Structure formats: C-alpha cells, structure tokens
Structure 1
Amino acid sequence: MAIPRRRRHPDEPSFQMTPMIDMTFLLLIFFMVTTKMSKEQVKLEVALPTASAAIQPEDLSNRDIVNIDHQGTFYVANNPVSSGELKAHLKERFKNAPPLKIYLRADKDTPTRKIREVMKMATEAGAADVIFGSYTR
C-alpha cells in the first residue's frame, strides 16, 4: 500500500523590515553630515551684494561653492586657491560628478574681472549651472 505524499505549500513570501530600517538610518546620517558640510563651506565672511530681483533656488545641494573675497582671492569652500588650482578643481569635479553646478559667492567689492575669470573657468570646465549669492532688498 502506497503512502500518499503530502503536498508542500510554498512558504508565504515575507517582507524583511530590518534592512529597510538600516537603510533609512544610513540615509538620515548621510544627509545630516552633508548638510553640515555645506553650511561649513559658506562660513567664509563675504559681504554679498544686494539685488532687488534675487530669487533663492529651491535646491542648493550638489553645488561646488566658490567664494571670492573683496581682494579677489579665490576660495573653494573656505580654502584659498590660485586661479590654476580653481580651474583644475572645477575640471576634476566635472569629470568625476557631472553636471557641474556652482554657487558663486563674491564680495560686493570684488573686482569684476575676478568674477569674469571664474565664469570663464566654469564655462571651460563644463558648468551646467552657475548661481550668484546675493541678499534681497
């Protein structure tokens, strides 16, 4: 006499919550750290000009911050650099993480030729978007 075989039902698929919670915490920590870094890059004291038609963009993330003080010295974030170093930095940045977006903060007393110089470097590096820092009236 043959013993009837039991039919096995496939296990019900289950959803694992632990990896999802881990990813949520990792993303939270990542955004907290990058936000702090972005704020640190804007710490350099620059007397921004005022503009009556200034509009603040909704998203300032993923932008290289270039500062120019009143003497015309270039800074990547808060580190002083020469024009050659800035040019190399922008090209490297574009190569590694396109598109290149720049937030240019120039002192209101910065010589105009220095701003044009940065704009030329940004164009040569392949910048897709350059915004200028200013205060609204």
Structure 2
Amino acid sequence: MAGGGGGGDGEPEFQIAPMIDVLLVLLIFFMSITSAQVLRIDQDIRLPVAADAKKKDDKNAMFEASINVSWIAARQEAKIKLDTQELPNEEIVKVLTERKNNNPTYRVIIRADRDVLAVEIQKVMALIAQAGIDDISFSTLNQDS
C-alpha cells in the first residue's frame, strides 16, 4: 500500500515530528514578540505606586511609544529615553510627530521613576504635546514590590 502512513488495520499513525515543528515555530514567534516588548522597558526605573492602578490593555501595544524617565540623583537631572534610545528633546518631538502622522491613534506611555520631580514630568508632557499627541498614560504599580 503506497502512502497513508497508517498501520495495517486502517488506523492512521500519529506523526510527532510535524507537531514538534509547529510547536517550535510558535515558541520562537512568541519569544520574539515578548522580547521586543521587554526591551522597551527600562528595568532600573522604580515606578510609583497608585493603589487604584488598572492593568493596561495590550491590544494596541504596536501603536504606542514608551518614554522612560529616570532620575540621576548625583547630577540632579532626568534622563529621557524614547523606547530604548536616548535622544535629544528635538529629536524625540520629531520622531513622535512622524509616528503620529502615520497613525492618528498613536499614544504615549510615560514610565517615570518615583524620584523624578514633577517639573521634569511636565517637560516630558510638553514634548509629547509638541508632537501633537494627546493620548498619554502613566505607568504605575498597584502595590509596592
């Protein structure tokens, strides 16, 4: 009997090799998506605590920027990163404006260290406003970790 891959009694054999191939492809796919999201987050930032914080909806993660604002205590200044890049303020506005022009629903998540002064957050919000983006969220924790 040609082909079929079954036994002599008419029942098909279970082929494990194609199942493993599919499983590995899915594993690689999900690992690459997850690591792209994790790279945008600065792990050194200690987020502030907001007891009523709500979990973010991840369905629009492709259409948002993450601005990480860390506080350098030794120099008493804030360091601003757009996603993973530290850029001058003018360049941040330029990049955000271009992204907003390509997608009118583009939004920004501000991830600021709990030690950053409010005036520094105002400066970041002014940069976002210059780019024409009015959908801004703040990243917080709902309990201290």
TM-score normalised by length of structure 2: 0.66
The share of aligned pairs that are identical, in percent, is 24
Native 8 Å contact 2:41 2:84 kept in 1: yes
Where do 4+ consecutive residues of structure 1 move more than 3 Å?
A: 31-35
1:74 aligns with 2:80: yes
Q: Quote the residue 2:106 is aligned against.
A: 100
> In 1, distance between residues paired with 2:31 and 2:100?
24
**Structure 1 unaligned spans of 5+:** 1-24
5+ unaligned residues in a row in structure 2: which ranges?
1-24, 73-77
SS at match of 1:103: strand
In structure 2, do the counterparts of structure 1 residues 92 and 34 end up closer, same or farther at CA, with 3 Å as the change threshold?
farther
**TM-score of the superposed pair, with normalisation by structure 1:** 0.70
Q: Greater Rg, structure 1 or structure 2?
A: 1
Deviations 1:60-114 (A, max 9, x none): 5121011000131110122212211211121121122332211110001112122
Other-structure match for 1:131: 137
Q: RMSD of the alignment, in Å?
A: 2.3
CA distance in 1, matches of 2:140, 2:129: 21
Shift in Å, 1:33: 3.3
- The count of aligned residue pairs is 111
SS in 1 for 2:93: helix
* Structure 1: distance between partners of 2:57 and 2:106: 17
Tell me which amino acid in the other structure corresponds to 2:70. Answer: D
Deviation for aligned residue 1:34:
3.6
Question: Which of 87, 94, 110 is the equivalent residue of 1:88?
Answer: 94
- Residue number in structure 1 paired with 2:61: 61
**Take 2:95 and 2:130, find their aligned partners in 1: how far apart are those partners?**
12
Match of 1:122 in 2: 128
Please name the residue that 1:109 is paired with: 115
- Quick one: distance in 2 between partners of 1:56 and 1:131? 12
